[in-house]
Structure 1
Amino acid sequence: MNKISKLIVVSSVLLVLSFSLLFLTVQKRLSIPFLSESIHTSVAYMNNFISKPVRFISEQRDVVNQLLDTYDENKELKESLSSLEGQLAELDTIKKENDSLRQTLGMAGTYVSKDIRVGLVSVRTPVAWNTQLTINLGQKDGLTTDMLVVSNGGLIGTIEHIYDQVSDVKLLTNSDKVTKIPVKISAGTSDIYGILTGYDTDSNSFIISQLNSVAEIPNGTNVVTSDLAGATPSNVQIGKVRTVKTSTSDLNRELYVEPTANFSNIYSVLVVGDGK
């Protein structure tokens, strides 16, 4: 038997003995001062001995309850904070969409002679970020394949697949599958024509080749679409010449053009047809 067990047994015996003597004292009206004092002292000692663990457990229970209450409060605060952050992010997205839409509507006046429609981007996935996006315009809106798509001030792609309610846009940053678009370069007093044939991911530039002139083309020269091919709407902004890569023949030069449009944040679009 260990010390704690012995202490419990001795304490229990003393407690029973003390209560027995106290009972006799009360019932028989015996007055034993020394005995009464000893009994009261023993009872007080035992009461203190027993009450201390009880108070300790009660205090610890209060501490645990406070910790649990604090945990619940922190959990609720975190949930509220997370909800608030989500609402702020959603509000920021709506603000950017509205700003983009106002800019797009302002651009519509530039193409008064063209067949135009204003739409919003409904899907743009990370896996196809540089190749494709989906807009909320489709067959019901009279779209046709290869119509030009403009956003953020410049050409971003062409209509590739059309469905009833939506359409897929093939972006010009799709380096593996670029739509060839006729372009016009305004170099001084003359216009030079060529074809947008690719996209260079290293310099983030459009590549224009098959130039019809050997005239000098300074850096910063403006580049727009051309209607020489017949079906492509003209004068849609593309970008400005960044560098000219020369070869053995000036006709085989390649122009690297910095896009006017910002491809990072595309929220609204202007779909442009030839209007004929």
Structure 2
Amino acid sequence: MNNRKKQRNRRIILIITVAIIVFSSISLIFSRTQWGIERMISDSIAVVEYYVIKKPIEFVSNLFNEYNELKDVYNENKILRAKLAAYASVEVNTDVLSNEIEDLKKITKLDHLPTEYNVKTATVIARDAGSWTNEITIDLGSMAGVSKDMVVVASKGMVGKVTSVTEVSATVQLLTTEKPISDLPVQIINGDQNIYGLLKRYDVESKCYEVTLLSNIDKLEDNAKVITSGLGGDQKAPKGIYIGTFEGLDSSRDGTTKTLKVKPAEDFSDLSYVSVVFRGNVDE
């Protein structure tokens, strides 16, 4: 009786043990399978989240960062260009001012005028491209004592004569004009000899004045100076104002007329300041 009871108890214990082992194994297998599925699902979700959400956001964010960096570089370059332009402008203005100062120094130290003359310095305020070689406008007029036919000089010599005047400005006909209003009486200093002539025109090709001689001469000294003669009345230029130097001598076919080529003393390409010549004292 007792043996049967013991055997039955052993069977029950064995069944319970086997049941526990089987249940544990099934639970373990199921748990591992579930964990693998969850991991697979989790990994899939992570991949989708990265490529669908995070990656585009990161790409757009990088684009904005690059745009902002490029914008900063552009603004910095813009500022640098502005500074360089300002520096270049200041440098150019400095050069212009330096040139103007040099021109003013030259025009205030005229050494080619006779001592009995005085001058007033004027600024060239207009010079049209269409009449570049013909005339200029200066900022001195009748209120400054300027009148028609007054001679105008630059730092090296005569450049023209006043042809019209307003209260605050005057028009000056240049010696290089294509159509001079009148001939200019001149004097050529040929050593101890004085020769007279008329400045007729300016020759564009040779870049020289053409002077018709009023007296016969066979030879002139090299670089003989040409000045105004002062002949011809008040409407002509006063005597002794420097015009240029002898460059060459041409004769007409019949030999009756000789034309003198005179190289201008002044450079007409850049006239910023000039002086109006007055006889006697001038009230500044």
- Whether TM exceeds 0.5 here: the answer is yes
What is the SS of the residue equivalent to 1:106?
A: coil
User: What are the ranges of 5 or more consecutive residues in structure 2 without an aligned counterpart?
Assistant: 1-32
Q: Does 1:273 align with 2:278?
A: yes
TM-score, reference length from structure 1: 0.81
Moved more, 56-65 or 166-175: 56-65
Return the alpha-carbon distance in structure 2 between the equivalents of residues 208 and 109 of structure 1: 20
Q: Structure 2 vs 1, CA of residues 124 and 254 (structure 1 numbering), >3 Å: closer, same or farther?
A: same
Does structure 2 conserve the Cα–Cα contact (< 8 Å) formed by 1:160 and 1:167?
yes
1:88 maps to 91
Q: CA deviation at 1:138?
A: 0.7
What is the SS of the residue equivalent to 2:101?
A: helix
| Alignment-mate amino acid for residue 252 of structure 2 | S
* CA RMSD, 1 decimal: 2.2
Return the alpha-carbon distance in structure 2 between the equivalents of residues 175 and 181 of structure 1: 14
Q: Structure 2 vs 1, CA of residues 262 and 221 (structure 1 numbering), >3 Å: closer, same or farther?
A: same
Q: Does 1:98 align with 2:101?
A: yes
Which of these residues, 170, 173, 178, is aligned with residue 175 of structure 1?
Answer: 178
Q: CA deviation at 1:158?
A: 1.0
Please list the CA deviations of residues 199-250 of structure 1 after superposition, one character each: whole Å capped at 9, or x if unmatched.
Answer: 0101111111142333532341110011111322111110001110112455
2:246 maps to 241
Return the alpha-carbon distance in structure 2 between the equivalents of residues 109 and 252 of structure 1: 30
2:120 maps to 117
Return the alpha-carbon distance in structure 2 between the equivalents of residues 108 and 119 of structure 1: 18
Return the alpha-carbon distance in structure 2 between the equivalents of residues 180 and 225 of structure 1: 11
Moved more, 56-65 or 156-165: 56-65
User: Percent of counterpart pairs with the same letter?
Assistant: 27
Q: Structure 2 vs 1, CA of residues 227 and 139 (structure 1 numbering), >3 Å: closer, same or farther?
A: same
Return the alpha-carbon distance in structure 2 between the equivalents of residues 171 and 77 of structure 1: 46
Q: CA deviation at 1:115?
A: 4.1
TM-score, reference length from structure 2: 0.79
Q: CA deviation at 1:195?
A: 0.7
Does structure 1 conserve the Cα–Cα contact (< 8 Å) formed by 2:112 and 2:241?
no
User: What are the ranges of 5 or more consecutive residues in structure 1 without an aligned counterpart?
Assistant: 1-30
Moved more, 109-118 or 131-140: 109-118
Structure 1 runs of 4+ off > 6 angstroms?
none
| Alignment-mate amino acid for residue 258 of structure 1 | K
